[in-house]
Amino acid sequence: MENKFRPEDEIDYKDFLKNPLRLFAVVYPYLIMLIIVVGMYWVFNLDHAILNTQQKQLLARDTVAPEIPMQKGAMMEGVNVKEISVPNAEMIAKGAELYKANCSSCHGNEGKGDGIAGSGLNPKPRNFTELDGWKNGAKLSEMWKTLEEGIPGSGMVAYNYLNVVDRFALIHYMHSLMPDFPKDSDSDLETLDLTYSLSEGKVTSNQISVSMAMNKMTEEYSNNKTKIEQFTKELNTVEGDIAVLLDKVISNTDKASITLVNGKNWQSGTNAFINEIASTINNNGFKAITLRLTKDELTTLHSFLLNAHNRLNLQSQS
Ligand code: HEC
């Protein structure tokens, strides 16, 4: 008989049923590969396991805080909370007016949460005629909190720019739309008063955005205009290594000149320079990389800028 090799002689699949251990012979190459891959992964990550470290989470390189909004300061007069927490016809009428102008687009004319502007919102605007599921609650003091702080993560923003009496009026009007609503106890009202200094009144200060402040500074210092222009010229006309370095650290030559001409402390040393740049980074014409220069680069940069600065002062004195 011919001794011809046939695969079925090698692997008799039916035999596995009788003797399942033999299956191992077939799968072991795959098993070994799997063990090697898992083993390699384990070995490469051994450092993290042993040192209990976390892989670095890098922030975007020049992450900065968002601009703060512009706000006009105002004096909020103190009110008698006990008195204005009792609704009267005049307040409700005032509240209705404010509600129409500010709230009905989302909460609907009857307060059912069915305003056009609210239809696409998630969560949906509150239906004031139902008492289920309120986040802060439907008491006067609780609605006050909502108007003061908004509901984070929803379309309900704070309405704390409305004056105190107007906000009470609004709440009285909303209550008038509700078939029933929970009432505040005396201590609820006292807490409300204390928490938000309602009877004292408060002064909020003016606040302008950083970029606006920088523009203002630019204006205010326009008497330094010639110096700033000369400094810009100095920065733009250098060549060689220092030009490369300047290119690396300066994002806006005009702004950088303003920063340097007006800066009070940076001349005294590299540390003072870094501190001054860091305090206004991203608005002073320097890139964030300035804060990560090597010691040598920093010394070179600082002494160049210092020389340029001194030359200007000599010129302006002569
Ligand atoms: C842009 C749409 C929008 C406008 C305008 C709006 N709201 Fe809302 N409001 C919402 C949404 C959305 C919710 C639901 C928030 C949630 O459940 O997280 C809400 C919830 C509320 C709540 C319930 C808070 C709670 O405890 O659950 C009150 C009270 C309220 N709004 C009052 C007002 C008043 C008063 C005005 C007008 C000065 C107003 N809203 C204007 C969208 C709006």
- Per-residue pLDDT 10s for the chain (318 aa) are 456 666 556 667 777 778 877 778 788 899 999 999 999 999 988 887 777 766 666 655 555 555 666 666 666 678 899 999 999 999 999 999 999 999 999 999 999 999 888 888 889 999 999 998 999 999 999 999 999 999 988 889 888 888 889 999 999 999 999 999 999 999 999 999 988 888 887 666 667 777 777 777 667 666 678 888 889 998 999 888 999 999 999 999 989 998 898 887 899 899 889 888 888 877 889 988 888 899 999 999 999 999 998 887 776 655
How close is the Cα of 74 to the center of ligand 1, in Å? Answer: 25
Select from 99, 114, 149, 156 the residue to mutate for testing ligand 1; criterion: most ligand atoms less than 8 Å from CB. 156
How close is the Cα of 107 to the center of ligand 1, in Å? Answer: 7
pLDDT value of position 2: 54
pLDDT value of position 201: 76
Does the CB atom of residue 156 touch ligand 1 within 6 A?
A: yes
How many CB atoms within 10 Å of residue 201?
12
pLDDT value of position 33: 96
Q: What is the pLDDT of residues 249-292, one digit of tens each?
A: 999 998 999 889 888 789 989 988 988 888 887 788 998 888 88
pLDDT value of position 20: 78
**Long-range pairs for 193-201: beta carbons < 8 A, 24 or more residues apart:** 193/81, 196/144, 196/148, 198/78, 198/79, 198/81, 198/164, 199/78, 199/79, 199/80, 199/81, 200/78, 201/75, 201/76, 201/77, 201/78, 201/79
Q: Closest Cα to atom 5, ligand 1: which residue?
A: 103
Select from 107, 161, 167, 173 the residue to mutate for testing ligand 1; criterion: most ligand atoms less than 8 Å from CB. 107
Ligand 1 atom showing the smallest separation from residue 138 Cα: 26
